[in-house]
Amino acid sequence: MSVRLTESHYGKARVRLVAVERGAERHELADWTVDIRFGGDYERAHREGDNAGVYPTDSMKNSVYALARDHAAEGPERFALRLACHFLTRPARPAAVEIAIEARPWRRIEVGGAPHPHAFVAGSEERRLTRVAADGEQESIESGVRDLVVLKTTGSAFAGFPRDEYTTLAETGDRILATAIEAVWRYDRAPRDFDAAHERARRGLLETFAGHESRSVQHTLYAMGERVLEELPEAGEIRLRLPNRHHWRVDLAPFGRDNPNLVFVATAEPYGLIEGTLSRA
Amino acid sequence: MSVRLTESHYGKARVRLVAVERGAERHELADWTVDIRFGGDYERAHREGDNAGVYPTDSMKNSVYALARDHAAEGPERFALRLACHFLTRPARPAAVEIAIEARPWRRIEVGGAPHPHAFVAGSEERRLTRVAADGEQESIESGVRDLVVLKTTGSAFAGFPRDEYTTLAETGDRILATAIEAVWRYDRAPRDFDAAHERARRGLLETFAGHESRSVQHTLYAMGERVLEELPEAGEIRLRLPNRHHWRVDLAPFGRDNPNLVFVATAEPYGLIEGTLSRA
Amino acid sequence: MSVRLTESHYGKARVRLVAVERGAERHELADWTVDIRFGGDYERAHREGDNAGVYPTDSMKNSVYALARDHAAEGPERFALRLACHFLTRPARPAAVEIAIEARPWRRIEVGGAPHPHAFVAGSEERRLTRVAADGEQESIESGVRDLVVLKTTGSAFAGFPRDEYTTLAETGDRILATAIEAVWRYDRAPRDFDAAHERARRGLLETFAGHESRSVQHTLYAMGERVLEELPEAGEIRLRLPNRHHWRVDLAPFGRDNPNLVFVATAEPYGLIEGTLSRA
Amino acid sequence: MSVRLTESHYGKARVRLVAVERGAERHELADWTVDIRFGGDYERAHREGDNAGVYPTDSMKNSVYALARDHAAEGPERFALRLACHFLTRPARPAAVEIAIEARPWRRIEVGGAPHPHAFVAGSEERRLTRVAADGEQESIESGVRDLVVLKTTGSAFAGFPRDEYTTLAETGDRILATAIEAVWRYDRAPRDFDAAHERARRGLLETFAGHESRSVQHTLYAMGERVLEELPEAGEIRLRLPNRHHWRVDLAPFGRDNPNLVFVATAEPYGLIEGTLSRA
């Protein structure tokens, strides 16, 4: 039988890195999880077990720590670019390299109303995403957010949908809308300040979610995507992925009570899942 | 062979409840997970399968929703007390009942700098804890917090410990200290405002963690516990449980770099675990 | 304000250990997670930050690995006893020490119908539990199992329970019964062969679950506990904890179909939780 | 600003389904989690909130249960095909539909050495995967497995790799190899018996893992993929994804002991991740 290797990648996943910038006035904290992924022709490694072209994933991990010492403070996008370039100069240079960074948010503890110089409290499960791909000729940069969990108690409807014999869902003009926003936008050119651009996009997502009169998750997805592309002239595309975290109004009639959108049960599974990509026309 | 049932409990765990208080100006949100646990003599149920004394856990769940409609706004401590009393009046009344509530924090989304009246963004993995036990004669009330995750980049040491042939750990005068605070305090009498008391205790934990010159996790645990008892004259005891979330300084010497507390690897397992109870003398 | 430390423990949690016994014919595998917990008077450590009595948790971890080299093959109960005794001889000897081990099951891969000498496939999420406590005078030994997940499609009922205005649950003479067995038994004296005793108890749990005509989870709990105490004359007590993993029959009437116990939805939350302790009379 | 929707999908994720086939002699159990994903032109829904073309995800869920009543016994591949065809006849017919099913393994409890007719014990975290895509003209069928966790204590090496100044990893001729196999193969034509084909592929993966003298994870990946394509003449392609679950030999020298591959620490993160696709030439 004749078989061939038609695609191959490898790398190190989930390298945990905590980097401290020890300023005179205060410390800055970067809490990242880094993924490295090499692409190339690894046929000989696979078929014959010849490792001459297999740069160890352990060395990838070491490189993250070594470079982080002086460069983590540049922020995740620039650090990922630097890391990608670094790997393209290693022995057994890969044809292409991808770097993904998830940054965990921390806030300063307030002491007597003032932010503390070196003590932090963890933020939410939200993560700031960075993805860089490079092959020595071209680079692509994406930024984004995942698990930005939001909920609104009104301003959301779902009606006018097609019905058939499998449809039992009631139309509603007022429901809870809850989701965990995953949004990744592609930069066609680098913004001057990646942190500021990220903050602008994030604020746009939140404000649009809050203010939009939603007729469906799709409707809100589009409005959020459009807003981010408005906020970020450097971005050409945004992909959004919105689980519909259902909150079902509990039927209290058996207990002699009405329930005018006061008591809900939130269910984890199953959930609707809405995905869409918006591009600048 | 002769066997007897020497202890028995049952109940419903993890009843998810989202309750909305729909004020004219703005909505308030309670996002709780409720556990109910009955204690009593359930020998006949166990030995003979006689369910005459087994109030269904499904009815416990229904009760949570029915009572939440009018009473969730009272806050978790008062709601838990109400729920406990409710169950003590049911058919097949339990000898004792315990209610535990975990409240998930949400913050209002800011739109144009102002908090939105009905749109929220999820807070951290931190949970506010409430535990009530009642038997018709006595009630106990505990409040607390879990997974209040904190980290400081300096102001923590660990030295002067005993060494033997299994000890390889170096003494350190400066390390990262990180933990997920679990603290539960017992009220000897009810404070006037449970929310305000909780906020005072939480602020005390955070400020003490930040400002304390720590010689060990134990040392910080004690300082935090003492502070909460100072803040809450109504509380007679506090139990703390602090995992030591180790951040190891990466050895960069093989790569020709020093590492003056700049680059760390955070490990999930194993972890130190420090537990202590402080009582008012 | 006067405060005192009324209870204190510390230790190392979740020490992952994989030990290989390299026999001439075949290899044996122990895959354990070990917790160590010291108890004693740690007032000076807490109050003053004096670490002279704080044996490092890092040294506890080192001890696990060092002792495992020669002794993991003795099995988790004897290894835990050895480890406990070891710690009672260390500097800053604790007043009491507890060791808990969770063992992960692996099965040999079958190749050509025969078990392979050194290749394994992971078993289920089930864990074998071992808990030892020692203070230099007395020792206690417990064994058990957790997350032994079982399900039967018939032979389970729930009826005859008390009803009130919060009760909507229908009585049923035939339902799915599913649970994740947690059972821990206390040895009053050591059995000759801990592995064989564990296997006998485990088989008793499974066979009883399968064959018992269940009138409630409580009813099955008792039958399982009684069976284990019959199987293990060395055990004086058993504690069981059985979540009721609800499988709800889906109402297919809206779609013009009946559902004679054919299609179910399994829900994770909320769940009933039944706990009981049986002792030899 | 001009923006357009360039891609769009939606559906229901994680529909939990337990279906019982109640035979005269014994019951069969299907424990599945089903994902449904519609593709098409949903521009009007997104841009205008017009739901006339948005078949509710709740109706998708209902369809799963309704069809499962009579057809779950056909197995996941044929059920997924049936479900896909079903959705292509619904109102607001999608342009394309994808169905993914994860099946959880259960084994019969043995009572007195014989498999019980209706009582089961859960298998491992392994899942059997089925993925079907259809658009009314073409259908694709994939099968596979994920989290098939395996480990061998010898017969694995990693040496001859390129080194640079970031390389500290030692070459090894004998190490533990552990992974969680994810393998998905594409059927170019349907096998006569999907269950038998899956079992053949699975056995091929396990036997190859066990017997292969591994020079790297890549080397083993290729051997496993080649074996599955040999076993399944109907399959044209297989994709494998193998995390390298590192087991590091513990350095016992500080404690005066050698460690000839006896004691290891298994780490969860970071991990190597090897991916490859093999196609029939």
- Whether D277 has its CB under 8 Å from any CB of chain C: the answer is no
Q: Which residue of A has its CA nearest to C267?
A: A269
Q: What Rg do the C-alpha atoms of chain B give, in angstroms?
A: 23
Q: Quote the longest CA-to-CA distance of chain C.
A: 75
Cβ contacts of A21 on chain B, cutoff 8 Å: 262
Residues 6+ apart with CB under 8 A from A218: A274, A276, D8, D10, D42, D45, D46, D49, D54
Instruction: List C-alpha distances in Å: D230 to D208, D226, D236, D281.
Output: 12, 6, 10, 12
pLDDT digits (tens, 9 = 90+) for B205-216: 999 999 999 999
For B125, which of A27, A70, A125 is closest by C-beta distance? A125
Q: Do A165 and C268 touch (CB under 8 A)?
A: no
Q: Do B22 and A123 touch (CB under 8 A)?
A: no
pLDDT digits (tens, 9 = 90+) for C217-259: 999 999 999 999 999 999 999 999 999 999 999 999 999 999 9
User: Rounded distance, CA D191 to CA D193, Å?
Assistant: 5
For C255, which of A166, A254, A269 is closest by C-beta distance? A166
Q: Which DSSP category does D79 fall into?
A: H
How much is the pLDDT for D281?
85
Q: Which value does ipTM take for this structure?
A: 0.97
**DSSP-assigned letters across all residues of A22-80:** E-SS-EEEEEEEEEEEEES--HHHHHH--GGG---HHHHHHHHHHHHHHHGGG-HHHHH
| Closest listed residue to residue D202, CA positions, set D219, D181, D186 | D181
How much is the pLDDT for A136?
94
- Whether C31 has its CB under 8 Å from any CB of chain D: the answer is yes
pLDDT digits (tens, 9 = 90+) for C13-53: 999 999 999 999 999 999 999 999 999 999 999 999 999 99
Q: Do D124 and C119 touch (CB under 8 A)?
A: no
| Closest listed residue to residue A156, CA positions, set A132, A189, A178 | A178
For B168, which of D165, D254, D269 is closest by C-beta distance? D254
User: Rounded distance, CA D37 to CA D14, Å?
Assistant: 11
Which residue in D12, D61, D198, D212 is the catalytic one? D12
Q: Is pLDDT of B4 > 80?
A: yes
User: Rounded distance, CA C174 to CA C158, Å?
Assistant: 8
- Whether C161 has its CB under 8 Å from any CB of chain A: the answer is no
Q: Which of the four pLDDT bands, split at 50, 70 and 90, describes residue D91? A: confident
CA angle D16, D21, D24 (to 5 degrees): 160
Neighbouring chains to C with at least 3 Cβ pairs closer than 8 Å? A, B, D
Q: Is pLDDT of D1 > 90?
A: no
Q: What residues of chain A, 196 to 235, have a C-beta less than 8 Å from chain B?
A: 206-207, 209-211
How much is the pLDDT for A281?
84
Q: Do B275 and C7 touch (CB under 8 A)?
A: yes
Q: Do D168 and B254 touch (CB under 8 A)?
A: yes
pLDDT digits (tens, 9 = 90+) for B14-33: 999 999 999 999 999 999 99
Q: Is B73 left (phi over 0), alpha (psi -120 to 50) or beta?
A: alpha
pLDDT digits (tens, 9 = 90+) for C101-153: 999 999 999 999 999 999 999 999 999 999 999 999 999 999 999 999 999 99
Neighbouring chains to B with at least 3 Cβ pairs closer than 8 Å? A, C, D
- Map out the domains of chain C with their CATH numbers: 7-135 (3.10.270.10), 138-281 (3.10.270.10)
Q: Is pLDDT of C1 > 80?
A: no
- Whether A152 has its CB under 8 Å from any CB of chain B: the answer is yes
- Whether D168 has its CB under 8 Å from any CB of chain B: the answer is yes
**Partners of C279 in the β-ladder:** B4, C237
Do residues C44 and C79 touch, judged by C-beta distance below 8 A? no
Q: Which DSSP category does B161 fall into?
A: -
Terminal C-alpha separation, chain D: 48
Residues of A with a catalytic annotation lie at 12, 57, 246
Any idea which residue has 């009104």 for tokens? Answer: A154
User: What's the whole-number mean pLDDT along residues B219-247?
Assistant: 98
- Report the percentage of chain B scoring pLDDT > 90: 98
pLDDT digits (tens, 9 = 90+) for B142-159: 999 999 999 999 999 999
Chain-centroid distance, C-alpha B88:
25
Q: Do D150 and C16 touch (CB under 8 A)?
A: no
- Whether B174 has its CB under 8 Å from any CB of chain A: the answer is no
Do residues B150 and B224 touch, judged by C-beta distance below 8 A? no
CA distance C173 to chain B (A): 13
- Whether B113 has its CB under 8 Å from any CB of chain A: the answer is no
- Whether A107 has its CB under 8 Å from any CB of chain D: the answer is no
Cβ contacts of A65 on chain B, cutoff 8 Å: 250, 252, 255, 263, 265
Mutate to test the interface with D, among B255, B263, B271 (most CBs of D within 10 A): B255
pLDDT digits (tens, 9 = 90+) for C178-210: 999 999 999 999 999 999 999 999 999 999 999
- Whether A69 has its CB under 8 Å from any CB of chain B: the answer is yes
| Closest listed residue to residue A201, CA positions, set A250, A262, A142 | A142
Cis-peptide into D243, omega within 30 deg: no
**Where is average pLDDT lowest: A134-138, C88-92, C165-169, D66-70?**
C88-92
Q: Which of the four pLDDT bands, split at 50, 70 and 90, describes residue B168? A: very high
For D167, which of A59, A163, A272 is closest by C-beta distance? A59
Q: Which two tokens stand for residue B146?
A: 């879990």
HSE (side-chain half, CA atoms, 13 Å) at A26? 11
User: Rounded distance, CA A242 to CA A182, Å?
Assistant: 6
Coil/strand/helix, residue D223: helix
Cβ contacts of C116 on chain D, cutoff 8 Å: 210-211
pTM of the prediction?
A: 0.97
- Whether C247 has its CB under 8 Å from any CB of chain B: the answer is no
For C109, which of D69, D124, D210 is closest by C-beta distance? D210
pLDDT digits (tens, 9 = 90+) for B90-130: 888 999 999 999 999 999 999 999 999 999 999 999 999 99
How much is the pLDDT for B92?
87
Structural element, H or E, at residue A14:
strand A3-22
Residues of C with a catalytic annotation lie at 12, 57, 246
For B118, which of A69, A70, A152 is closest by C-beta distance? A152
Structural element, H or E, at residue C77:
helix C76-87
**Where is average pLDDT lowest: C88-92, D92-96, D166-170?**
C88-92
CA distance D141 to chain C (A): 25
Any idea which residue has 């109504």 for tokens? Answer: B234
Q: Which residue of D has its CA nearest to A5?
A: D278
3-state helix, strand, coil in chain C (%, to 5): 25, 45, 30
Residue ranges of chain A with per-residue pLDDT less than 70: none
Any idea which residue has 């809206």 for tokens? Answer: C254
How much is the pLDDT for C281?
84
How much is the pLDDT for C91?
84
Cβ contacts of A231 on chain D, cutoff 8 Å: none
Q: Do C56 and B230 touch (CB under 8 A)?
A: no
Cβ contacts of D243 on chain A, cutoff 8 Å: 13
How much is the pLDDT for C92?
87
Do residues B181 and B223 touch, judged by C-beta distance below 8 A? no
Mutate to test the interface with C, among D31, D59, D65, D156 (most CBs of C within 10 A): D65
